[in-house]
Amino acid sequence: MVEGDVYNLNQVGYNGKGYCFTSTTRIPDNEAFLGWENGHTGFMGLPATWPTNEWYVSFWVRYPTFTSTVSHENIKLFYPKWDGGDSHSAFDDTGQGSLYHSEKSNGVYVTNSNWVKVAGINNGAWHHVEFYMDFEKGISRFWYDGNLAWDKNWGPGTFTTPVKMYYFTFGSIDASGDSIFNRQFDEIEVWDGMPGTLICTESWTCSAWTNWNTCTNNLQSHSQTCIDANSCGTTTSKPITTESQACTSVTTYNLTNFTQLVTDWLKAIASSPADVNKDGKVNSQDLGIMMSNWQN
């Protein structure tokens, strides 16, 4: 449903396709919003009891105009409530490249005063926002333009199940300050779980490569450690973490080898550790090889 009669479908939607919800310029104290509420006659009402213990919400948002006149706004972007309104997950645009975020369960704050970075959200381009909650496990996540920006696991028992939904709201034209803006929303999706088609964008960062290890059997390697900042659980774009290269193995000698050389010097001997060139004799050639690769 559309509350407040300030949204229209006159503008082209995301990616130049179809039409999108477009608001008029923000009107002070006007509580206009797009919403899905429980109990509205004449609309496909929000189920009083959510069918699962999860939901996932996705939509595209754009600010065709945004003139900031205050240092901190409180513009509702996504603000679902449940448990008769006593529980919520609020994401409010500050107008300063961040979202103010709080979560409440049965009247008690789980967390508040969080500032989630959303660089460029007011720059006139379309941006993709995604929200996920698992009420049974206590998981709360938010993605901005495909990157995981909020990821918390509060643990079982944090939220009440089954989930008694009150409403979903997608944006609101009201604000606590006097900034001038209008907004567009498109491709709003609400799922009762994480959709199988959701693509988590891997974001890998790697440590510096270690030094090459000792050459053994004409081969040596080094490695790096890589971490996916978005914790996708996949490795499609993960950089390689181990490299190998050919090398020339060098045998070194010490006093033990020299002592054996003295013992077997100029002897015709079938096998001796001092016969390093394997010619059946222990002589000056072996001594020269040892001295060239001497190691204390």
Taking 80 as the threshold, does the pLDDT of residue 70 lie above it? no
Q: Specify the amino acid at residue 3.
A: E
Taking 50 as the threshold, does the pLDDT of residue 158 lie above it? yes
What residues form DSSP beta bridges with 148? Answer: 143
104/81 Cα distance (integer angstroms):
9
pTM (2 decimals)? 0.64
* Residue-range domains of the chain with CATH: 2-191 (2.60.120.200), 204-246 (no CATH), 255-292 (no CATH)
Q: Please compute the mean of the pLDDT values over residues 3-24 and round it to a whole number.
A: 82
For residues 163 and 192, is the Cβ–Cβ distance under 8 A? no
Q: Specify the amino acid at residue 182.
A: N
Q: Please compute the mean of the pLDDT values over residues 13-19 and round it to a whole number.
A: 92
Q: Please compute the mean of the pLDDT values over residues 254-268 and round it to a whole number.
A: 79
Q: Which of 51-65, 158-172, 279-293 has the highest mean pLDDT?
A: 51-65
What are the tens digits of pLDDT across the range 184-216?
999 999 999 988 755 677 889 999 999 998 888
What distances in angstroms separate CA 99 from CA 78, 120, 171, 201, 209, one per listed residue? 10, 12, 13, 21, 36
- In sequence order, the 6+-apart residues with CB closer than 8 A to the CB of 212 are 220, 221, 222, 245, 247
Higher pLDDT, 124 or 74: 124
Instruction: Grade residue 75 by pLDDT with cuts at 50, 70 and 90.
Output: confident
Q: Which residue has the tokens 């919400």?
A: 57
Instruction: Give the other-Cβ count within 10 Å of 291's Cβ.
Output: 10
Instruction: Grade residue 256 by pLDDT with cuts at 50, 70 and 90.
Output: confident
- CA dihedral sign, ordered 133, 134, 140, 146: negative
Mean pLDDT of the chain: 85
What residues form DSSP beta bridges with 131? Answer: 57, 142
pLDDT of residue 178: 62
For residues 187 and 58, is the Cβ–Cβ distance under 8 A? yes
- Residue 239 burial (CB < 10 Å; 0-12/13-18/19+)? exposed
Taking 60 as the threshold, does the pLDDT of residue 242 lie above it? yes
Q: Please compute the mean of the pLDDT values over residues 55-68 and round it to a whole number.
A: 92
Range with the poorest average pLDDT among 31-40, 58-67, 240-249: 31-40
Instruction: Grade residue 2 by pLDDT with cuts at 50, 70 and 90.
Output: very low
